[in-house]
Structure 1
Amino acid sequence: MSSSTQPIPVVGCGKIPAMGKSISQHLRPEYEVTHFILSYEAAEAELPHLLAGRNPQSQTPNEIGTNNYSRPPRAVVFGRGYDPHQVEELKKKFASVAKEPVAWVRGNPGDLPVGAVGPDYAQLIVADMKKVLNKWRDGGEKDEEILVY
């Protein structure tokens, strides 16, 4: 990525703030998590604003995202704690709000680690996320099916 290229703005959705913070940091420099959502209910309330290019009107702000709302998100990435049906429902409700195609990306809940999560877990997740996001970006950034990492 050249220094003149801006990172792609992303909304992250996860259930564990510490994991969200680590993943957000590892997504840089190609992707910028501008906002991080911690529940399905918050996603329902905040995604329509974010995808339309407005501030999220969040009732529960956190310090995980950069809060840089100057550009609307081009991807919404869900952690493995979100049920695939929840992601599908949110995409059905809000995909049409965005002015440009948005990648809807979710983890496979079947790939949750067994036992304690190791120190490299966030890096491994981000590597999978980046593969999916880069393929979407390189494939012309079309808004189609939900992508799974």
Structure 2
Amino acid sequence: MSSLSSPVPVILCGRRAEIGKPVAELLVPEFEVIHFITTNEAALSDIPRLLKGEKPQSPDDSGVGTQNYSQVPRAVIFGRGYSLTEVEQFRQASEGCNANSVAWITGDPDRKPGPNEPRPGPGYAQFAAGQVKEKLTAWREEGATHDGIILW
């Protein structure tokens, strides 16, 4: 079992900073979003670098990530703006970059929002953060040894 710092450093990938910022704030205090990514190009270049313990090529000027690069991230979180195919591509590009297990948390493509679940807009960040935090907490409590994609 690998040891986890507290808060657990994570990367957040989302298409819109106005949703990413409240999601990042709601993950605290257990998890710290150290870097926020909005494009596929930045994901392909920065996720492997960050998982190696290096600084990203693309600056995070969104105000979402803390830019605390002193610890290697243990999870990469994706909003529903990313397809499962894209997440798998980013994961393959990052294989072997981190000696520890990494959780890749992404939206379940087969799970459409229910009639009572918020669409992107007011309330969506709280909903998404709650789902992600639940999955990350379970991963952490199970020893943080699962290295792969976890759907929310």
Instruction: Give the TM-score, by structure 1 length.
Output: 0.88
Looking at structure 1, the residues matched to 35 and 77 of structure 2 have their Cα atoms a distance apart, in angstroms, of 11
Looking at structure 1, the residues matched to 82 and 55 of structure 2 have their Cα atoms a distance apart, in angstroms, of 23
In structure 2, the partner of 1:35 is 35
**One-letter identity of the residue aligned with 1:100:** N
Q: Is the 8 A contact 1:46 1:58 kept in 2?
A: yes
Aligned partner of residue 127 in structure 1, secondary structure: helix
Looking at structure 2, the residues matched to 120 and 103 of structure 1 have their Cα atoms a distance apart, in angstroms, of 25
The farther-off stretch of 38-47 and 116-125 is 116-125
In structure 1, the partner of 2:151 is 148
Change (3 A) 1:129 1:116: closer
Looking at structure 2, the residues matched to 6 and 63 of structure 1 have their Cα atoms a distance apart, in angstroms, of 21
Q: Is the 8 A contact 1:80 1:112 kept in 2?
A: no
Q: Is the 8 A contact 1:95 1:102 kept in 2?
A: no
The Cα of 1:143 is off from its aligned counterpart by 3.6
Q: Is the 8 A contact 2:80 2:106 kept in 1?
A: yes
Change (3 A) 1:80 1:59: same
Which has the larger helix fraction? Answer: 1
Runs ≥4 residues deviating over 6 A: none
The Cα of 1:133 is off from its aligned counterpart by 0.5
**Unaligned runs of at least 5 residues, structure 2:** none
The farther-off stretch of 47-56 and 91-100 is 91-100
In structure 1, the partner of 2:98 is 98
In structure 1, the partner of 2:66 is 66
**Unaligned runs of at least 5 residues, structure 1:** none
Count matched residues. 145
**One-letter identity of the residue aligned with 1:146:** I
C-alpha RMSD of matched pairs (Å): 2.0
The Cα of 1:10 is off from its aligned counterpart by 0.5
Counting aligned pairs with the same residue, the percent is 39
Within the candidate set 137, 142, 152, 1:139 is matched to 142
**One-letter identity of the residue aligned with 1:144:** D
> What aligned pairs does 1:107-146 form with structure 2 within 5 A after superposition?
107-109=107-109, 110-111=111-112, 117-146=120-149
Looking at structure 2, the residues matched to 40 and 118 of structure 1 have their Cα atoms a distance apart, in angstroms, of 22
Matched, 1:22 2:25: no
**One-letter identity of the residue aligned with 1:81:** G
Aligned partner of residue 55 in structure 2, secondary structure: coil
